[in-house]
Structure formats: C-alpha cells, structure tokens
A and B are shown apart, each in its own frame.
Chain A
Amino acid sequence: MTEQRPEIGKVIVDAVLAVIILVAVVDAQGLPQQARMMPTVVGIATLVFLTLGIAAELFPKHAEFLKPRTPRSDDRNQMQAEQPAEWGAALRVISYVLLFWVLIFFFGFYVVPPVLVALYLGFEGGVRWRFAIPLAILATLLTLAGLAVLRVQPWIGAGPELIDGYVGGAVMPLF
C-alpha cells in the first residue's frame, strides 16, 4: 500500500484562509456585542474546520474519524475539479478575465468588449479574423441594444475622456 502524501497546495490555501478568518475574528471584537456575535461564532468554527482540514491533509491516517461515512461517501469535489487544466493555462484565462474588467473600467462598454472578444476568439479560439471581428461587433451591438431597451446607461469608462459621452470621463463609483 502506498503512503498518501499531503498536498502542499491544499495546506497552503487552508492556512491562508485561516489567517484571513483569524484577522476577521480579531477585527470583529471591536464591534458592538450583537454585531460581533455571528462573526465570532462562525469565524471560530471556520477556523476549527480549516485547522482540521490541514490536520487531515498532513496526518491522513490519524484523521480518519473526521470523515463520517454518509450513505455515499464519495468526493464531490473530484467531480467539480474534473481534470483541471494546467495552472499556466488557468492563469492565462484569469489574466484575460482581469484585463477584460480593468480595461472596461477605464474605457467602457463601447470599445473594450468588441476588441477583447475579437482578440480572444482570434488568438485563443482559433477563429478566423474575418469571422471573429464581425461576431465581436455584433455581440457588442446586441448587448448595447439590450441596455438601451432596459434604459440603462452603458458604462463609458473612468479613464480620461476620449470621445465625449462614449469613451472615458465617467463619474467614478465610490470605492
């Protein structure tokens, strides 16, 4: 029988979460009694569960009792994280998602979605440019039409005003 090795990634994530929760629990102690009750109780319970999670990962043999045998003791997460991609590929998508939002924040809905959708379709999706560009423009026009029907003013971007009323110059939301 091979010995089960701890997954260091899981331990690190659990530990980071535990630190965040600990900070929140400590911070909650400065609140009025009624307001701190829930964060304190839930926070401490979560800390206990995270610590048990770390222990179960580091000492799997001694942590058997933490896994009560429910009628079907399978691991749902294996389904959820079914064949996860390499971290490199995932980080590339995460970067794209972040860039998408950051550019929209600065330059708005009129210019960023068509450009970034077309670029993604072209480079990542392998779609030919002559299809990718019209598709991206069409999708953006449909979205803008939907916003117009709903009488929602599209976000024009918080960056410098480039085209009055369309690109840049929006009032900054409260951070």
Chain B
Amino acid sequence: MLEAMTAALARLAALDAVSTILIGTMIGVTFGALPGLGSVIALALVLPFTFGMDPMLAMLLYAGIMSSVTFGGSVPAILLNTPGTPPNAATCFDGYPMARRGEGARALAISSASCFAGSLGGVIVTLALLPVVKPIVYAFGPPEFFWLVAFGMVMIAFAARGNMIKGLAGGGIGIMISLVGYDDMTGSFRFTYGSDYLWDGLPLVTFVTGLFAISELIAYASRGGSTVADSVDMAGVKWTRQVAQGVRDVAIRPAQTMRAAAIGAGVGIIPGLGGGVASFMSYIIGMQRSRDESYGKGSPEGIIASETANDAKDGGALLPTVAFGIPGSPDTAILLGAFILHGLQPGPTLLREHMDIVCLLLFGIFVSQIATSAFGLVSSPLLARISVIRSRWLAPFVLSLVVVGTFMLNQNILDSGAAVLVGIMGYVLRRFGFPLITIAIGFILGPLLETSFLQSMLISQSGFGVFWSSPIALVLMVCTLSALFGPFIADAVRRTRRGDPSKKAQNNTAGRVGR
C-alpha cells in the first residue's frame, strides 16, 4: 500500500500530471457552473478523448473533473439561487440569503474551503476504509438501505422547521411526482395519462433545475433589484475581506466540517444514493444539530454541511467502484467505463495489481480540489459581483441557460418545457408556504425508498420481519422512528409539564383578584 502511494505521489509530481489535473479542473468548474450540465455529462464527453491517453493521466483528468464540478455548481447556487448541479440545491438555502446580505464572496469562500475540507475528508476515509470496505458494502442490503432512505425522508420534518405539515405535504407531493413513469418492478405505467414523454418520468436534472432555477428566476425578475437586497449598504461591503472571513468560518467549525465529511463519505460508499442524498442528509442533520438561529436563512454552517458532504461523497463513491466494480454514483459509473476502456478491471484484481492507479485517482481528486479551492478563493471577490447586477438583466440569460441546459441532457425540448412547468409550480407552491427543499427531498428519495422496500419484501421469507432482522437495520429503524415521533412526544411532555398556558393565565388572574 505504502509503495503504491509513493509511486502515485511520484507520478503526480510530473508536469503533465499537474497540467492534466488543471485541465480537468477547468472543465469541471465550467460544467458545474452551467445549470443542467454536471459531472456526468463532462465525464461522458471527455471519455472518448482519453482513449489513447496514458491510463494514469486519464485517471487524473477524471479526478479533476469529478472533484471540481461541485464547487462550480455552488457558484450559481449562491449567487442566483440556481443550483449548477442537483446536489448543490441544498447550498441555495444558506448561500443565497448570504448573497442577499451582500456576503456573496464570503459564501463562495466558505464553499471553496468546504470543498477542500470535504475532499480531504473523503480521501482520508477512503484510504482508511479501503482494506475493510467489503463488510461495509455487504452489510447494506435492501432493508438497511430502506431505513437509511426512510431516515432521510423523516428529516423532511426537520427541513420544514416550524411548518411541518406543509413540509410533509410537500415531501409527499415530491414523492408522487417521482413515481410518474414506467415502474421497473411491475412493468406498469403510473400517472402517464397517455403521454409518451412521461414514460421515463421526469429527469432529476430537469426537476431540480426547474424547481429552483425557474421559480427563483420568476421571483427575482418580478421583484426587481439585484441579488443583494436593497437595504444592504454596498459601501460597507468588502469583497476581499469576506474571503478571509469565509475561510475562517470553515476553520473554526472543525466538528461540523468533519461530521459533514463523514456523512458525505458514508453516503458515497453506499451505491445508488448519490450526491443529492449526501448533501441534503448532511444539511438536514446539520440543521437539527446546529445552534445557529440563522441556519436556513444564511448561515455559514448550512453551506459547510452541504458542500463538504457533497465533495466527501466523491471519495466514498470510489470505494465500491474500485473494490467491487459497483459504481457508487452516476459519475463513478462512467468512471467504471473509463477503467474498462483503459484495460483495467475494477474489483479485487485492480486493488491487488494497480493499487498505484487507485491511489493516483484519490490523490488526483485531492490535488484537483486544492486547485479548485485556490481558484475559488481568488475568484470569489470577482464572482460575487454578479450578485449586484440587476436581476432583470440576468433573468433572460439565466432562462436561456436553463432551457438549453435541460434540453442538452436528453436532447429533448420537452425536458425544457417540463422544467419551465415545474418552475412555475415551484413558484406558486413557495408563495403559498410549501418549502421547496422538502419537495426536492421527496423527489430524490421517493424512488429509492420504494425500490428498497419492494426488494426487501421480495427477499424476505418472514414478511415485514426483514426490516428489523439485522442490527444495522434495527439501529436505523430506531433512529428513524425516534426522529419521526420525537418532536411530538417531547412537545407533549413539555406542554404537560408546563400546563395549559390559557388555564395558567386564568389561574394567575384569579389569584390576583383573590388577593
């Protein structure tokens, strides 16, 4: 292992390796920043070009793209409330309000520093778990998977703080929309109502981009002004100073950062969950644990939670990919193809014979992240100035980007139409109190929940008993149920202890009269 790490580091020090990483980083940032694109398209695009390349350099190019897309996606999420990639949606909730307060550069710097911290965490976790990954991945069967996803669903209640009913209803709406289309398990069509377009359901990118980008576009274009609120005194905004503040924000929160990195890497290891789940789960757990009153309204902790997890996931997702040939996320699925294209067979053989390439990939992700973070920190003061451009100047360009971006995914113009309709729906729902975060969580997790439930039932010999048949499933079940009913029980206990406030008031009045 040490030998492989040394060989990888030596290869990484070469000029061609560094320049390849930088090219990958530039491609990744660009593809991340453009709504509708993302790492999958970027990786798929460069895949054929790497055919004749040295496999090590090709891996570095992939590493550069994979690790930098996340930061690229956070730029429009923070400045325009338009996530560049679906996992960046959670960054909008705190990043955009910070930009509204004139702290765009600070938020971008937090994102840069968080990406670096997340990447470092992901790589460390991956290297540490590489020898013991087998039992971890095998320990997660459909029942464990079901409870993990269910736990994420229950977190909807927390995501909708203070408006639990609307939040849960929004989550349900998100799930119902995610069910549209062909059902693999039974071979039936659900809610397609004769439409051929709906056979495949709504693509995730289309839904998330429409829900956040279009609805926000309608909001800011109709409101006028700029991202930065009119009440902010721009004379007092020091973009460059904000960058240092942003880095400090991450540095003084090691616990939150490590927690988010652990969540991201952990979710990444489990195949099929993906970056959206990592960032949302980390964001919501962070919300639950945070003491910051401004969480969800422009707190650095919110950006740290989502961006760190989002980047840590890349390292985690590599584990099952290289160890078993099971891709942990859509982009690692393309990476898997790249391995095969270069004559490398993922699995135990790869770990045994080409450990240097695996280490190179991991180190490449880390070095690329250093480049991305450096770029992010240097460019933050400039990028943040987008937030002072008048919204009505930006709106038509953002709309063009969204329409073209969602079209590119499947080269189907109806995807763009669906994004527009989802965006209008999102705008109406948010005006009437439905938190968009819960709708997005429902849409992302709904299909995973259903599939894992049905798979569990299929492999079960004892009905529902499969759901608490393993210790991990049992622990996850307890966590999920206590998260679901905990607030109600705690509230009931609190009310009982304090007594009914109205009766208390009557008693106080009676006491005073009596005196």
Contacts and interface: CB of A to CB of B under 8 A. Distances in A.
Interface of A: 7, 9-10, 13-14, 17, 21, 24, 27-28, 31-32, 34-35, 37-39, 42-43, 45-46, 49-50, 52-53, 56, 66-70, 72-77, 79-86, 89-90, 92-94, 96-98, 100-101, 104-105, 109, 113, 116-117, 120-121, 124-127, 136, 139-140, 143, 146-147, 150, 152-153, 155, 158, 170, 173-175
A104 B407 CA distance: 11
B217 A77 contact: no
B175 A68 contact: no
B179 A39 contact: yes
A104 B404 CA distance: 10
B196 A175 contact: yes
Given A104-B403, A174-B196, A93 B221 contact: yes
A38 B218 contact: no
Contacts of B41: 150
A112 B143 CA distance: 50
Which of B172, B188, B390, B430 has the largest number of chain A CB atoms within 10 A? B172
Nearest to B486: A68
A88 B91 CA distance: 30
B464 interface: no
Given A52-B165, A93-B222, A143-B400, A125 B392 contact: yes
Interface of B: 34, 41, 45, 97, 100, 158, 160-166, 168-169, 172-173, 175-176, 179, 183, 185-186, 188, 190-191, 195-197, 214, 217-219, 221-224, 293, 295-297, 390, 392-393, 395-397, 399-401, 403-404, 407-408, 411-414, 416-417, 420, 423-424, 427-437, 446, 449-450, 453-454, 487-488, 490-491, 494
A56 B166 CA distance: 10
Contacts of A120: 392, 395-396
B217 A70 contact: no
Given A17-B169, A125-B390, A79 B97 contact: yes
Given A70-B161, A75-B163, A104 B172 contact: no
B163 A76 contact: yes
Given A66-B165, A70-B158, A101-B416, 8 more contacts: A13-B432, A24-B191, A32-B186, A39-B179, A66-B164, A77-B166, A96-B221, A98-B420
A68 to B, nearest CB: 4
A104 B406 CA distance: 13
Contacts, number: 230
Given A85-B222, A124-B392, A143 B161 contact: no
Contacts of A10: 432-433
13 contacts: A13-B429, A21-B173, A35-B186, A38-B179, A42-B176, A42-B179, A46-B175, A69-B487, A69-B494, A70-B161, A97-B423, A98-B424, A104-B403
A173 B197 CA distance: 8
Contacts of A34: 183, 185-186, 454
B403 A101 contact: yes
A53 B217 CA distance: 27
A100 B433 CA distance: 27
Nearest to A44: B172
Contacts of A27: 191
A158 B404 CA distance: 16
A49 B169 contact: yes
Contacts of B296: 76, 79
Contacts of A72: 161-162, 293, 295
A73 to B, nearest CB: 5
B173 A46 contact: yes
Nearest to A27: B191
B412 A173 contact: yes
Nearest to B404: A143
B218 A94 contact: yes
B172 A46 contact: yes
Contact of A143 (B197, B223, B390, B401): B401
A27 to B, nearest CB: 7
Contact of A73 (B162, B185, B297, B423): B162
A157 to B, nearest CB: 9
Contacts of B214: 97
Contact of B411 (A7, A105, A152): A152
A156 to B, nearest CB: 10
Contacts of A158: 413
Contacts of A43: 172, 176
Contact of B435 (A56, A69, A80, A117): A80
Contacts of B430: 77, 80-81
